[in-house]
Amino acid sequence: MRITIFGTGYVGLVTGTCLAEVGNDVICVDVDAAKVARLNDGEIPIFEPGLDELVRDNRAAGRLHFTTAAEPAIAHGQMVFIAVGTPPDEDGSADLSHVLTVARSIGQHITRYTVVVNKSTVPVGTADRVRAAISAELLIRGLDVPFDVVSNPEFLKEGDAVKDCLRPDRIILGADSARAIEAIKALYAPFNRNHERLVLMDVRSAELTKYAANAMLATKISFMNEMANIAEHVGADIELVRIGIGSDPRIGYSFIYPGAGYGGSCFPKDVQALERTARAHGYNARVLSAVEAVNVDQKDKLFVLIERHFGGDLAGKTIALWGLAFKPNTDDMREAPSRRLLEQLWAAGAKVRAYDPEARHEAARLYGEHAGLLLCEHPHDALEHADALVIVTEWKEFWSPDFERIKATLKSPVIFDGRNIYEPRTVEAAGIAYYGIGRGRSLLPAHAAARNV
């Protein structure tokens, strides 16, 4: 099939590449000329495992193209995907300006039946606005070109995006036209071979399904962060509690890791946007407000622990940070807990030496000029002349460090473990003070309190 995708960010680039991988002829359009030029030079603007190779192979096979030119790209596509950003507005609701710009462009250029597929995360009712924007442009042109607008929200996770796209858990499709449904079914057939993954519903329900999924996951995380804070107050260990409750299949082990707060380009903005949508319709979504409020506070957690440990005086201290990305396997720092921590440490007069396997370039882009930040090439370089080590992102390479070396390098050996990746007693046995998230001390003997026992 001939496919056009607007937006070459995480969603557009990965979707376009995976659709090309199964034989479609894909053109990706972006307004960012520099990004398009890099892609045409064979450079991938984001770090996403497996993507590099797939883009290279599909470009070489002539199935994947990048352009800034909307008109020929729209003429190319039997289906036109919208995968542009929907960032938060000043009041937290979703900014639809990029989506509606693409819709107008589609209306200005389509010449034959086209299925318009919205993949961006958008509030309920957006498909109607997209349809109206296309119709208005067709009216100006004096044309009556048939088209359908469907909602096909995306559920990929950064760091696993290629895998999620090639092997989706489910394909949500909100559509009210038999012709569009048949076209989408044919498009996704290669991703749907061993069992039916397509869940068909009306457009508004599909739009809400995306927000409901993210809000549910964010709720699990804020709930666990709240439990962690209670555990700390009452002297219990949240890691034992996590294992204890996860064993109930109704609860499950996934997405119940407490930590330094959820970040990324989706949860913070989508919880906020859904809460604002509810409010705009006269409903006060109290759970969502609490999820957001708990997360805002949780992002202060590491700073509070660090400040308390150093008696409220961080002036002149040097803090080593391991991890800057909002989670492992990505270079994305949007809404990352590291960003709040950096700002707080600098405001308190501390300097930071930071290491991240993939996000150093992004950190340099964001804070390159800041005198309080030294970006290090190796985790142990970050420890030199530092007073403390803080784990902000749980990259695999941080899981089994040389504690003896950490102790010997840090000025006053202490670890603040924002992801609970270490066993407190192991760290303390190496002569290093330890702070985790919700790790009130249990009275179990050391061997029984070890993780996963």
Ligand X SMILES: O=c1ccn([C@@H]2O[C@H](COP(=O)(O)OP(=O)(O)O[C@H]3O[C@H](CO)[C@@H](O)[C@H](O)[C@H]3O)[C@@H](O)[C@H]2O)c(=O)[nH]1
Contact residues toward ligand NAD (CB under 6 A) are: 6-12, 29-32, 35, 83-86, 98, 101-102, 120-121, 154, 156, 158, 265-266
Q: CA 450, CA 453: separation in Å to the nearest integer? A: 6
Choice between 127 and 183, CB closer to ligand X = 127
- Please tell me whether 327 is known to bind a ligand: yes
Q: CA 58, CA 334: separation in Å to the nearest integer? A: 29
* Binding piece for ligand X, criterion CB under 6 A, among 150-158, 243-251, 314-322, 437-445: 150-158
Work out how close the CB of 153 gets to ligand NAD at its nearest, in angstroms, rounded to a whole number.
Answer: 7
Residue 142's identity, in one-letter code, is G
The number of C-alpha atoms within 13 Å of 28 and in the hemisphere containing its C-beta is 32
> Which phi and psi (to 5°) does residue 61 adopt?
-80, -5
The option from ligand NAD, ligand X, none interacting with 83 (CB < 5 to 8 A, set by class) reads ligand NAD
Radius of gyration of the chain (CA): 24
**CB proximity list for 365: less than 8 A, separation 6 or greater:** none
Work out how close the CB of 169 gets to ligand X at its nearest, in angstroms, rounded to a whole number.
Answer: 9
Choice between 270 and 417, CB closer to ligand NAD = 270
The option from ligand X, ligand NAD, none interacting with 339 (CB < 5 to 8 A, set by class) reads none
Site for ligand X contains 302 (CB under 6 A) = no
* Binding piece for ligand X, criterion CB under 6 A, among 200-208, 260-268, 367-375, 402-410: 260-268
Strand partners, 414: 433
Residue 418's identity, in one-letter code, is G
Please give the structure tokens belonging to residue 97: 């300006």
Site for ligand X contains 77 (CB under 6 A) = no
Site for ligand X contains 156 (CB under 6 A) = yes
Site for ligand X contains 256 (CB under 6 A) = yes
Which sequence positions are flagged as catalytic?
Answer: 266
Q: CA 32, CA 269: separation in Å to the nearest integer? A: 22
Choice between 160 and 384, CB closer to ligand X = 160
Residue 162's identity, in one-letter code, is V
Choice between 55 and 84, CB closer to ligand NAD = 84
Nearest to 4 by CA among 69, 63, 74: 74
CB 354 within 8 A of CB 373: yes
- Please tell me whether 305 is known to bind a ligand: no
- Chain residues binding ligand X by CB under 6 A are 121, 154-158, 214, 217, 221, 255-257, 259, 262-264, 266-267, 326-327
